[in-house]
């Protein structure tokens, strides 16, 4: 799934464009208790294609110190990990020296760059095109991020060269694709080594280039799994070692690629914003998820209690997931963790038959009817499955336009219970039938 990175000097409208590019997905996870959004990373969708959007806010390629330097470093990393770069400029302000600096950097990026002129509503396009053509990045594409003009065409143009999802389908007998993600030092590499052991690794291909993610097929308990690597794992003698620095983008790419996310937390640390953001991103991507609270061997009861409280408060939106207390180092809790990975994968790919779905819907509505809004009384008639990974449940009826999020959550819980789905988020859609 392609990664689109937005670059441009401040105030050209990057966050506005970012919001446009990711907005369709936002609505799906609205109002989840405890979920805070990271405004720099998001998922967008056109048709049935997902893409990752990264906003490099405040990129200044010549910043030498302080916070500006740190931002420049992160932007550099984002550029290196991008599949395609969108260089945003301001059509009303015209070409500036700062734009020229950034253009010089991007011409060396070795990635496709699209020059995008924002705030293009009501300006003379020919004149603007001539002005920005001098940046040496081809013809500028006009958009208005604020009004949405040209954004859809832009995305379609940008994504056209990339294969669509079903052109590289995963074959089922390889088992679930599992991504082990988490902050640095929580014990991901240790867990990978414990999972893989040395004999169980089935031969895998080393990547052709450093940018290809590697996947490592292995077998355990008679079942096959494929690990999606997030950190450039390389085999050194008997063990796997991470050879690259932690990368948010690689982590998010792995979340998008996989079927099941294993989010690793460190029992000795409080839940950080970064933990919550990775978890929130997995939810946004609709991924099945299992939480591994690692280093459980190393903490006392006081610490354990404190962590449970912290999790209940900051990761409330993961109520669909199973939590395991494990020790990757001592190989404790691993069997249970893998069982939950299996269960989450089955739940994410479950077939939900229309009669059973409809019965579950009717029972839910009988127990608690959807609230009336205005004069209309919402009527829910039947439900069918609209997709999997995550399961999409389409509810048909009348007056279903303004069903409150709290009622959607209630329905989700009812369907989860009825089908015993554990470990996957659900998506509920409403469709009015005449």
Binding residues: 8-15, 55-59, 118-121, 182-189, 229-233, 294-297
Q: Which residues pair with 50 in a beta bridge?
A: 45
Binding residues for GTP: 8-15, 55-59, 118-121, 182-189, 229-233, 294-297
Query: Shortest approach of ligand GDP to residue 243 CB, angstroms?
Result: 11
Sheet of 379-387, strand order: 379-387, 392-398, 427-432
Which DSSP letter does residue 123 get?
Answer: S
Query: Shortest approach of ligand GDP to residue 299 CB, angstroms?
Result: 9
Q: With respect to ligand GDP, which residue has the nearer C-beta, 116 or 195?
A: 195
Query: Shortest approach of ligand GDP to residue 187 CB, angstroms?
Result: 3
Number of residue whose CB is nearest ligand GDP = 187
* DSSP output for 199-260: TTBPP-PPPSSTTSPPEEEEEETTEEEEEEPSS-EEEETTEEEE-S---HHHHHHHHHH-SE
Q: What's the rounded Cα separation, in Å, for the pair 196 and 200? A: 6
Q: With respect to ligand GDP, which residue has the nearer C-beta, 152 or 306?
A: 306
Q: With respect to ligand GDP, which residue has the nearer C-beta, 53 or 264?
A: 264
Which DSSP letter does residue 170 get?
Answer: P
Q: With respect to ligand GDP, which residue has the nearer C-beta, 296 or 419?
A: 296
Q: With respect to ligand GDP, which residue has the nearer C-beta, 90 or 266?
A: 266
Query: Shortest approach of ligand GDP to residue 149 CB, angstroms?
Result: 44
Q: What's the rounded Cα separation, in Å, for the pair 193 and 207? A: 19
Q: With respect to ligand GDP, which residue has the nearer C-beta, 103 or 334?
A: 334
Torsion of CA 67, 69, 70, 75, to 10 degrees: 130
Query: Shortest approach of ligand GDP to residue 264 CB, angstroms?
Result: 6
Query: Shortest approach of ligand GDP to residue 229 CB, angstroms?
Result: 11
Q: With respect to ligand GDP, which residue has the nearer C-beta, 185 or 274?
A: 185
Query: Shortest approach of ligand GDP to residue 335 CB, angstroms?
Result: 15
Q: What's the rounded Cα separation, in Å, for the pair 57 and 8? A: 8
Which residue ranges make up the site for ligand GDP (CB under 6 A)? Answer: 182, 184-190, 242, 294-295, 297-298, 327-329
Q: What's the rounded Cα separation, in Å, for the pair 129 and 86? A: 16
Q: What's the rounded Cα separation, in Å, for the pair 291 and 132? A: 48
Nearest CA-CA partner of 268 in 310, 303, 301, 292: 303
* Whether 341 contacts 290, CB under 8 Å: yes
């Amino acid at each position: 799934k392609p990664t689109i990175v937005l670059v441009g000097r401040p105030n050209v409208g990057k966050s506005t464009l970012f919001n446009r590019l990711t907005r369709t997905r936002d609505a799906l996870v609205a109002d989840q208790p405890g979920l805070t959004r990271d405004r720099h990373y998001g998922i967008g969708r056109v048709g049935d294609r997902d893409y990752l959007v990264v906003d490099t806010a405040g990129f200044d390629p010549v910043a030498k110190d302080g916070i500006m330097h740190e931002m420049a470093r992160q932007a550099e990393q984002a550029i290196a990990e991008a599949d395609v770069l969108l260089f945003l400029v301001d059509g009303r302000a015209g070409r500036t020296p700062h734009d020229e600096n950034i253009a010089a950097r991007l011409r060396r990026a070795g990635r496709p760059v699209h020059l995008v002129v924002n705030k293009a509503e009501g300006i003379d396009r020919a004149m603007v095109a001539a002005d920005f053509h001098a940046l040496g990045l081809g013809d500028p594409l006009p958009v208005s991020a604020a009004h949405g003009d040209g954004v859809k065409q832009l995305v379609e143009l940008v994504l056209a060269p990339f294969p669509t999802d079903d052109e590289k389908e995963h074959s089922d007998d390889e088992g679930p694709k599992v991504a082990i993600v988490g902050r640095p030092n929580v014990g991901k590499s240790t867990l990978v080594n414990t999972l893989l052991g040395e004999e169980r690794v089935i031969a895998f291909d080393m990547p052709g280039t450093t940018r290809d993610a590697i996947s490592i097929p292995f077998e355990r308990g008679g079942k096959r799994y494929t690990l999606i690597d997030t950190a450039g794992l390389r085999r050194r003698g008997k063990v796997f070692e991470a050879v690259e620095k932690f990368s948010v983008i690689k982590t998010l790419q792995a979340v998008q690629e996989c079927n099941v996310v294993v989010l690793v937390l460190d029992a000795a640390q409080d839940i950080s914003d970064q933990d919550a953001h990775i978890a929130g991103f997995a939810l946004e991507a609709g991924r099945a998820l299992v939480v591994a609270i690692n280093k459980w061997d190393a903490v006392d009861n006081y610490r354990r209690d404190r962590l449970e409280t912290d999790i209940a408060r900051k990761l409330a939106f993961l109520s669909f997931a199973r939590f395991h207390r494990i020790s990757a180092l001592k190989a404790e809790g691993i069997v249970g963790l893998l069982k939950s990975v299996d269960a989450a994968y089955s739940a994410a790919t479950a077939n939900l038959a229309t009669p059973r779905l409809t019965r579950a819907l009717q029972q839910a509505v009988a127990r608690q009817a959807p609230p009336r809004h205005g004069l209309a009384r919402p009527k829910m008639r039947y439900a069918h499955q609209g997709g999997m990974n995550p399961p999409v449940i389409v509810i048909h009826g009348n007056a279903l336009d303004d069903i409150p999020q709290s009622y959607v959550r209630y329905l989700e819980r009812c369907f989860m219970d009825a089908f015993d789905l554990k470990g996957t988020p659900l998506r509920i859609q409403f469709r009015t039938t005449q």
